[in-house]
Structure 1
Amino acid sequence: MGTLFPNGGPPMAMTDEDKARRACGALLSACAPDTAQAAEAWLARLAHERRLSAKTREAYARDLGQVMQILAAHLGGRPRLAELATLAPADVRAVLAVRRNAGAAPRSLVRLLAAARSFARHLEREGLGRVGPLAAIHAPKVPKGLPKPVTVADALALADPETRAGEAREPWILARDAAVIALLYGAGLRISEALGLTPKQIPKAGAEGRITVIGKGQKTRMVPLIAPVSAAIADYVALCPYDLPPDRPLFRGARGGPLSPRIVQLAVERMRGALGLPDSATPHALRHSFATHLLAQGGDLRAIQELLGHASLSTTQIYTALDDTALMRAYKAAHPRA
């Protein structure tokens, strides 16, 4: 009898590097040969000099690929470097209009422009031409919204495997999801950072300690691992039916491959329905909650910046505005003269 997995194991999910390579291939196929050669060098610079993550490189390649595809239709052929150098502001506006008409949000258009400008700077730096109109186009305004954290009680409920006790799922899967969510709220990790952990990074079962996290731009930081989070991970490891080699992903999918972020997102969606939470209660909202609750308890803003892995303090300062908003809401609700 044949086997479902002829190579001796379950199929592995596509990694971020795989997705980045796929987006790079789509970009190169949309360009004329000389432009494709320059784009490949640009992507290599993003990876090796700027040390951007595979996920960010995928987004850059995908956005620039869309620009090239639209220009190909606009120019009547795959764009060559000489043609890029003769673009007018109207050509760039036409690209944005196509994406806008396709339903792209302002944030997507800003990202698309950022990718195109990054590539243009690379061309100019290498002496391959200057795409001047990109600098003359103003990026669409993106409305700034505050993060929407959940309450302490709701965050704890989301991280509690008992919240899903009635679901027809294997105990190890419930323990796995609880451990990932505990890392998001208890350590402030991004979901990609949590799913990128390996067993050798985790302290002894149930013990407090520190973990080294690889964040955006391959930057590392040390994050404390408190006892409840460590215990949740230990519960998952004890129940997991798969071998967990030290250098392989800690969190596994139902078939043994690396756990997909989408599975965690779906688990949180199910729980927020059961708990009556709004759609804003996402896995990333737990990271916001980590920062907001620390700040509300008197946490130092600079320390919170380091724990979150923010490159700039200004990124972390958004939580001070959030805390002030909550404070004013409580004041107006409770003060007799409010």
Structure 2
Amino acid sequence: MRVEAGLARNTLAAYRTDLEGLGRWLGERGVIDWSDLDEDRIIEWLGHRRTGGAAETSVARGLVALRMLVRFLILESGLKKDPTARIPTPKLKRLLPATLSPEDVERLLGVFLVDGQPPDWRAERDTALLEVLYAAGARISEALGLTTNDLPPDLSSLRLHGKGDKMRVVPLGRRARAALERWLENGRLTVVRQRKAAGAGMASSSVFLSRSGRPLDRSSGWRRVKEAARLAGLPESISPHDLRHSFATHLLAGGADLRAVQEMLGHASIRTTEIYTHLDVEHVQTVHRMHHPRG
């Protein structure tokens, strides 16, 4: 299914979780074969998810996952009918992404520094990670998926591997380059040497490493961003994706071309990028109401 649909790894994992949950729910009700699944059961399952507290986005995703499975079974296993055909996909509100102010970004990116410098290898790594997330608009999975082969010698850009294994090159600014260079030449090198000295073999080629020399995993990356937000006095809801949203919004607010921002974000459709123009319009309207004498 992943190969045919070009699904990203995280999307595939979410679909698998949805379908496994559906399988357990059906099993509890005596439905043991996908061919016995009918429209009424699906509607009941969607209602069960809602009453269980699932967000409407999760409910919609579960239905999409089921539709993909049914389509696969029709093509490959001779399933005769599509029980999802007449079920409408839940309508979702188009929520505007959360965006940090430039001042909040400054506080967040500098939170691990002492007198302008990182005090240890972990601070070097975490500062470099935060800088990459904001400077390149990278998803957390893209940043943590970077290897040393994705970096040119001058660190002027990053080669990011996005959804559906699509690759793009994004430029890096001066401060992000400095933070990344500091981590690569100091903290990361220390971790690599310690692993070798301990007889544990070569460290991973990943840019961002754990203390053991293994790739920093997604949950650890999330925790470090959350810790940075806490130390900076920002809301606990701050996530790595908020830095990506801020990257796009700040570029557009500064006059960047929409198509260029689309390329840097790795969006397949310009419509996905356009949400950031709506966000900036809302900000302008708020400023107008607050400061214009006739606002």
Same fold (TM over 0.5): yes
Q: Which residue of 1 is the match for residue 65 of structure 2? A: 115
Equivalent residue runs for 1:1-338 within 5 Å: 45-46=1-2, 48-74=3-29, 76-79=30-33, 81-84=34-37, 87=38, 89-126=39-76, 128-160=78-110, 162-163=112-113, 165=114, 171-204=120-153, 207-237=154-184, 238-240=186-188, 241-243=190-192, 248-338=205-295
Name the SS for the 2:159 alignment partner: strand
Question: Counterparts of 2:95 and 2:46 in 1: how far apart (Å)?
Answer: 23
Map Cα deviations across residues 237-276 of structure 1 (whole Å, 9 max, x no partner): 2222222979721111133221123223223323323333
Identity of aligned residues (%): 37
In structure 2, do the counterparts of structure 1 residues 61 and 330 end up closer, same or farther at CA, with 3 Å as the change threshold?
A: same
Deviation per CA, 1:142-187, whole angstroms, max 9, x where unpaired? 3321111111122122122545x49xx9711011011111011101
The alignment covers a number of residue pairs equal to 283
Opposite residue 147 of structure 1, the aligned amino acid is: P
4+ residue segments displaced more than 6 Å: 244-247
Decide whether the 8 Å contact of 2:112 with 2:228 is kept in 1. no
User: TM-score, normalising length from structure 2?
Assistant: 0.88
Distance in structure 1 (CA, Å) of the matches to 2:112 and 2:207? 22
TM, length-normalised to structure 1:
0.77
**Does structure 1 retain, via aligned residues, the 8 Å contact 2:162–2:168?**
yes
Give me the whole-angstrom Cα distance separating, in 2, the residues matched to 1:273 and 1:239: 23
Task: Show structure 1 runs of 5+ residues with no match.
Answer: 1-44
RMSD after superposition: 2.2
Report the alpha carbon displacement of residue 284 of structure 1 after superposing the two structures with TM. 0.8
Maintained 8 Å contact 1:185/1:287: yes
Structure 2 CA distance for partners of 1:247 and 1:253, relative to 1, 3 Å: closer
Asked if the contact 1:172/1:239 (under 8 Å) is kept, the reply is yes
